[in-house]
């Protein structure tokens, strides 16, 4: 009645794994694509010392195929290699363990994966699937593999350091009062130049000056605490400041991760989580460039992201489309200087189109008439507002902005006083004339026929890529720690995403 069932059947001629793999299976695409790559630099990074390592091409195939199949854990990859027929065929019956996979993924690939990614993108471009001269840019925050309860805040470090130095200066001032003759040096501690050695030397001088004096118990206690703890604590604060490197926070379990507010917070309580800011460029929903940043905002990332694009392909993109998170003077100027045609919104572009901002802020300086020849603005009542001076302002990235002030001549008795402005005296407005011109140009581009097409396409080109990675692939939290390893891990995700679409 039944077909033969023999578990331990021996074969005179063993069956071939090749016959078991469907000719159109994605594993064959992964195999062919990686076989076509130039991996000479990766091979050259190995030496002849010790036992023979696994072939890096085989390991790369196994890891990329596992990411393509939503398998990200090194232990699960090891299990797939031992039990899944597609992995067995792909690895040629080799069985690297999870430690080998993790070392290769976390260390060996760091320097070489971006070039491997580039070769695959260029292959797609050669086949006419994508156009790498036109890109759509967007970013998202992705949770780091870090404990969310072990954090260090930059403001807290600065505050505690300042308090400690103030207490030292208090002790110094007290020592000068009770032992003026012995205290030849009257200088207080310089907050900017302080070091653990300076603190220790300062405490020694204070002790030396008041050793024969009768001092209150609370002063003795403070001095003992300072002698015992302050040099060590200052060294800790300085070490934390080096790790922070201008950031507002970091996680103790992943020093490169910064605490950010996540959009996918299910409790809606604005909980901060250790995360990385992922920036990508896409074309036809294929990823053509990626970068990892430690700052939560998108605004400061665009010039750097486009520079890495230029380094990767030896030319800048011709057309860039991005949302309002990237609309800043620095970014517009970078795009203009590099002769890149751009369709980048500024923060209140949509409110302008719907008339919301005009209704809420009808007297805003953005809606006042400006006479460029004679350099004056006209207030809502028709009064001229003249230039009273220009100042320079530097933003957090070090970019200098020029701000010009204009003042009305006489606001006394004006019927719009209180609605137009609420300050005492004549109205003063601060205007960034350069940004005003750049926004006008951006507005014209965005409202053009081509601009409308680009804006519509952006939302269905770059945003679905993040949706696919987070929702379809289920990748919402990195497996590795440290910005270098995280960059490698996202690079593997990008390659897997591109090959998955290529297979489709």
Confidence category of residue 404, pLDDT binned at 50, 70, 90: very high
What's the whole-number average pLDDT of the chain?
88
Least confident segment among 24-38, 252-266, 290-304: 252-266
pLDDT, position 497: 96
Q: Are strands 272-283 and 134-143 parallel, antiparallel or unpaired?
A: antiparallel
Please answer whether residues 136 and 321 qualify as being in contact, where contact means their C-beta atoms are separated by less than 8 angstroms.
Answer: yes
Domain ranges of the chain: 17-109, 152-250
* Span 148-199, pLDDT tens digits: 888 899 999 989 888 888 887 777 777 776 656 555 555 555 555 677 777 7
pLDDT, position 438: 94
Extract the tokens encoding 289. Answer: 């460039």
Extract the tokens encoding 66. Answer: 């596992």
Please answer whether residues 168 and 188 qualify as being in contact, where contact means their C-beta atoms are separated by less than 8 angstroms.
Answer: no
Extract the tokens encoding 453. Answer: 């097409």
* Span 97-146, pLDDT tens digits: 999 999 999 999 999 999 999 999 999 999 999 999 999 999 999 999 99
Higher per-residue pLDDT: 136 or 357: 136
Confidence category of residue 69, pLDDT binned at 50, 70, 90: very high
Sign of the C-alpha dihedral, residues 346, 350, 352, 357?
A: negative
pTM: 0.88
Extract the tokens encoding 86. Answer: 């597609």
Cα angle value 297/301/304 (rounded, 5°): 165
**How many percent of the chain have pLDDT more than 90?**
62
DSSP letter assigned to residue 254: B
* Span 327-342, pLDDT tens digits: 999 999 999 999 999 9
pLDDT, position 213: 66
Sign of the C-alpha dihedral, residues 475, 312, 456, 442?
A: positive
Measured in degrees and rounded to the nearest 5, phi and psi for residue 276 equal -125, 150
Cα angle value 119/120/123 (rounded, 5°): 90
Please answer whether residues 429 and 420 qualify as being in contact, where contact means their C-beta atoms are separated by less than 8 angstroms.
Answer: no
pLDDT, position 50: 79
pLDDT, position 364: 87
For range 45-65, the mean pLDDT: 91
Extract the tokens encoding 276. Answer: 């990385």
DSSP letter assigned to residue 52: P
pLDDT, position 182: 55
Q: Which of 255, 235, 232 is nearest to 245 (CA)?
A: 255
């Amino acid at each position: 009645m039944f077909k033969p069932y023999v578990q331990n059947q021996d074969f005179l001629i063993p069956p071939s794994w090749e016959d078991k793999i469907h000719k159109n299976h994605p594993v064959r695409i992964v195999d062919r694509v990686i076989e076509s790559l130039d991996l000479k630099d990766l091979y050259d990074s190995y030496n002849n010392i010790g036992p023979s390592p696994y072939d890096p091409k085989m390991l790369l195939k196994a890891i990329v195929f596992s990411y393509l199949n939503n398998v990200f854990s090194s232990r699960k990859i090891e299990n797939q290699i031992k039990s899944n027929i597609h992995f067995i065929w792909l690895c040629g019956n080799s069985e690297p363990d999870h430690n080998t996979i993790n070392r290769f993924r976390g260390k060996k690939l760091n320097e070489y994966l971006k070039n491997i990614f580039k070769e695959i993108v260029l292959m797609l471009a050669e086949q006419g699937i994508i156009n790498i001269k036109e890109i759509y840019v967007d970013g998202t925050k992705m949770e780091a593999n870090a404990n969310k309860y072990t954090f260090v805040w930059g403001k807290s470090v600065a505050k505690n350091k300042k308090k400690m130095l103030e207490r030292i200066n208090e002790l110094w001032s007290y020592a000068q009062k009770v032992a003026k003759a012995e205290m030849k040096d009257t200088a207080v501690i310089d907050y900017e130049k302080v070091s653990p050695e300076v603190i220790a030397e300062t405490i020694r001088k204070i002790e030396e000056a008041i050793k024969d004096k009768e001092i209150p118990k609370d002063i003795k206690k403070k001095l003992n605490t300072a002698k015992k703890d302050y040099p060590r604590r200052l060294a800790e604060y300085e070490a934390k400041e080096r790790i922070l490197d201008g950031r507002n926070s970091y996680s103790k379990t992943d020093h490169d991760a910064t605490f950010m507010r996540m959009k996918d917070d299910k409790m809606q309580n604005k909980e901060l989580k250790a995360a990385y800011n992922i920036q990508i460029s896409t074309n036809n929903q294929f990823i053509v460039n990626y970068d990892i940043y430690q700052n939560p905002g998108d605004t400061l990332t665009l010039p750097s992201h486009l520079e890495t694009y230029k380094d990767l392909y030896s030319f800048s993109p011709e057309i860039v489309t991005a949302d309002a998170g990237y609309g800043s003077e620095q970014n517009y100027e970078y795009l203009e200087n590099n002769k890149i045609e751009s369709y980048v919104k500024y923060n209140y572009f949509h409110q302008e189109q719907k008339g919301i901002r005009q209704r809420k802020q009808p007297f805003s300086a953005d809606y006042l008439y400006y006479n460029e020849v004679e350099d004056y603005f006209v207030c809502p009542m028709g009064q001229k507002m003249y230039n009273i001076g220009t100042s320079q302002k530097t933003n957090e990235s070090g970019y200098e902005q020029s701000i010009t002030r204009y003042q009305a001549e006489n606001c006394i008795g004006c019927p719009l006083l209180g609605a137009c402005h609420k300050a005492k005296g004549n109205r003063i407005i601060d205007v960034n004339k350069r940004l005003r011109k750049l926004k006008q140009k951006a507005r014209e581009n965005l409202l053009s026929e081509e601009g409308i097409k680009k804006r519509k396409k952006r939302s269905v080109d770059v945003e679905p890529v993040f949706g696919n990675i987070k929702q379809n692939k289920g990748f919402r939290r990195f497996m590795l720690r440290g910005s270098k390893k995280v960059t490698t891990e996202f690079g593997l995700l990008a390659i897997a995403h591109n090959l998955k679409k290529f297979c489709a």
